[in-house]
Structure 1
Amino acid sequence: MAEAQAAVGDVPALLDLAKAAAATAPKPGEGRTAFLWEILASVTAVDVAAGRVLEPHLDAAAILAQAAGLAAGEGRDCPDFGGIRFDGAWGVFAAEAPGLRLEARAADGCFLLHGSKPWCSLAAQLDHAVLTAHVEGGGRAAFAVDLHADGVSFGDPEWTSRGLREIPSGTVHFDGVPAVPLGGSGWYYQRPGFAWGGMGVAACWLGGAVAVARSFTTSLRKAADGGREPDQIALAHLGEIDRTLAALTAYLARTADRIDAGELSDAGAWREALRVRGSVATAVERIQALVSQNLGPAPLAFDDAYGKRMADLALYIRQHHAMRDDAQLGALTLAGDTPW
């Protein structure tokens, strides 16, 4: 993890780190999913922004591998059809926003992108992206696109966030940009890899929480070395953090084994992803609250690394939609069997 530490705050270096990691990192569902998630968690524990750069690059590699052989049919006459090479730096852009719409229109046997895509992190510094676009007949499909192509332009992100400051997310505009289809309408969301990727993000969140817990433990030990032993409240909070992280680490390891065993390769994968993501997001917020209450305002005001980590992590976990995701899980639970 020395490379990640050396690249903190340096986006080009973080992108180089992601490209190097992709050369050897396993893909989900291929037998070493737990190791993949350990990589994501370990890098994020060094720096949340580093994990935020690494995760979509590895996710794009997995999506392209999952789509291999599925792109036959419409789009096969595109000049770049079948010639997608996983080189350069990649992003994954699937978000939607009111008033913005990206469409993929068939034209002369190819697909051309028209419109705008929001929440495109680091887009101006990337080479390629997997993105979703609306298609004729309804629904959305996934496409691979060259972000250096003519017709691609980047809006000013106007990024004022204190968290993930080095990773602005803005809008990208497309004016007749060729795109390579990856599967058909709905494939991107229906494949089990969508759920697996969502759990990979949760592994990053967990890594960030581990870093917060480590800083708390270090602070308590340092205070004890100076003659100020932790009180019962601090010890109780540390104990809660310990059992929470131990339980979640075991849960993710068990879930990774289930993915590799083929037990989460159907519609149930997303249900499990909602459980994993909700459990980790709730734990992250709880751990941040406990540590912040115990350490007080001083590290937020004077410890740059601690303050950055807390702000980065608070923004990152907002990819979880809290009660809305729980409502989706509740609906799936009501309609099916439960493990309890």
Structure 2
Amino acid sequence: MRDDAQGLESLLADFAQRDNLQVSAAPLRDAMQRCLNSGLDQLPLPGGGHTLERWRQLATVAGVDLALLKLYEGHTDALAILDELNAAPFEAPGIWGVWAAEPPDAKVGVSQRHGDKVRLNGRKAWCSGAQQLDYALLTAWANDEAPQLVAVDLKQPGVRFSSETWQAVGMAGTASGDVHFDGAVGICVGNNGDYLTRPGFWQGGAGIAAAWYGAAVALAKTLRAHRHNGRPEPHADAHLGSVDAALCGAAAALRECAEWIDAHPHKDASLPVQRLRAQVEMAVEQVCRHVGRALGATPFCRDPHFARLAADLQVFIRQSHAERDLAHLGQRVATGETEDWSL
């Protein structure tokens, strides 16, 4: 997998250094297609004994480009979900996404079910990379009890994209707009509620933390390269020391969580993953702060890869729900659900 990571970095080097004004869908889809053509989307499955290798690949892609990572993680997550739920809805290969955001004003309904086939109607929001994908797994509703996971071919009539709501600067290239369904045909995957109750749900959430980590490492490498100039810069060295401590702590947490998941592949991973995401988020925020203070404005203004990654990371890490996630973790600690912090 380390060789795959190096191959990926080489394969996508030109994409990482593209002009920051280039935000059209074509280069992003082309880069994603190169990953698929090279077999670099065939990752070890979560909980299969090589979870850390899976996360290393996600971290590598994140360090190349977070818009690409958003598509890559969604595609590889979809493949893992389909395997976990023993589903193969379409024969033709393509780029997949997973759309499971459920804002109250944008829900897709399921109707006219015949076997596994259903009709989809309604608006789905936060559909990352919608115009670059071939297929999507999305949550839809037949009632208010639990969402049904549905696979849909996006190249059919009854599927319409709109990006007017997407005003992002960071993560601009993903164009995570709305998708409108008007009688489009979908294929049910698993049973109602399977998307949230399967072990892979939290295992996939940990993979997002690995991506946060990979992007932070890429920013940190710019600071480390800066300190290779040989000139005394004690303040920059102090910032680099803080970055190193934060990243080493996050890396240790990732390794520990991956080991736990591989040892308990069918257990509820919500607690270890909630802890992991909190630890990595704190480390990433520390890295961003120290790298920026050490390097000043120069890389933000003159290095296209650094500038785009720094802007994208501020948006991407908000997949964490911040204090809401911490409050939920704190509630579990307060009720005695966790251990007593002994070494």
- Under a length normalisation based on structure 1, what TM-score does the superposition of the two structures give? 0.89
Counterpart for residue 266 of structure 2: 265
Q: Alpha carbon RMSD of aligned pairs, Å?
A: 1.9
Offset of 1:22 from its aligned partner?
A: 5.0
Cα deviations by residue, 1:290-322 (Å, 9 ceiling, x for unpaired)? 111111122222222221110011111011110
**In structure 2, do the counterparts of structure 1 residues 27 and 283 end up closer, same or farther at CA, with 3 Å as the change threshold?**
same
Question: Structure 1 residue 66 and structure 2 residue 84: aligned?
Answer: yes
Question: In structure 1, what is the Cα distance between the partners aligned to 2:333 and 2:31?
Answer: 40
After TM superposition, which residue ranges in structure 1, 4 or more long, deviate above 4 angstroms? none
Offset of 1:46 from its aligned partner?
A: 2.2
Counterpart for residue 31 of structure 2: 14
**In structure 2, do the counterparts of structure 1 residues 315 and 21 end up closer, same or farther at CA, with 3 Å as the change threshold?**
farther
Equivalent positions of 1:242-253 (< 5 A) are: 242-253=244-255
| SS of equivalent residue, structure 1 residue 27 | coil
Question: In structure 1, what is the Cα distance between the partners aligned to 2:273 and 2:112?
Answer: 33
Offset of 1:83 from its aligned partner?
A: 4.0
Q: In terms of mean alpha carbon deviation, does 242-251 or 204-213 score higher?
A: 242-251
Offset of 1:53 from its aligned partner?
A: 2.1
Offset of 1:63 from its aligned partner?
A: 0.4
Counterpart code for 1:315: V
Equivalent positions of 1:1-340 (< 5 A) are: 1-8=9-16, 10-19=27-36, 20-21=38-39, 24-68=42-86, 83-85=89-91, 87-109=93-115, 110-136=117-143, 138-222=145-229, 224=230, 228-231=231-234, 233-262=235-264, 265-267=266-268, 269-339=269-339, 340=341
Query: Could you list the runs of 5+ residues in structure 1 that have no partner in the other structure?
Result: 70-81
| SS of equivalent residue, structure 1 residue 215 | helix
Alignment: residue pair count? 321
Query: Could you list the runs of 5+ residues in structure 2 that have no partner in the other structure?
Result: 1-8, 19-26
| SS of equivalent residue, structure 2 residue 47 | coil
Question: In structure 2, what is the Cα distance between the partners aligned to 1:138 and 1:105?
Answer: 15
Offset of 1:127 from its aligned partner?
A: 0.4
Offset of 1:3 from its aligned partner?
A: 1.0
Cα deviations by residue, 1:55-111 (Å, 9 ceiling, x for unpaired)? 111000000001116xxxxxxxxxxxx643472000110112242121112434432
Percent identical across equivalent pairs? 37
Offset of 1:336 from its aligned partner?
A: 4.4
Question: In structure 1, what is the Cα distance between the partners aligned to 2:158 and 2:219?
Answer: 43
Counterpart code for 1:294: A
Question: In structure 2, what is the Cα distance between the partners aligned to 1:15 and 1:329?
Answer: 35
| SS of equivalent residue, structure 1 residue 130 | strand
**In structure 2, do the counterparts of structure 1 residues 115 and 307 end up closer, same or farther at CA, with 3 Å as the change threshold?**
same
Counterpart for residue 73 of structure 1: none
Counterpart code for 1:134: W
Offset of 1:24 from its aligned partner?
A: 3.2
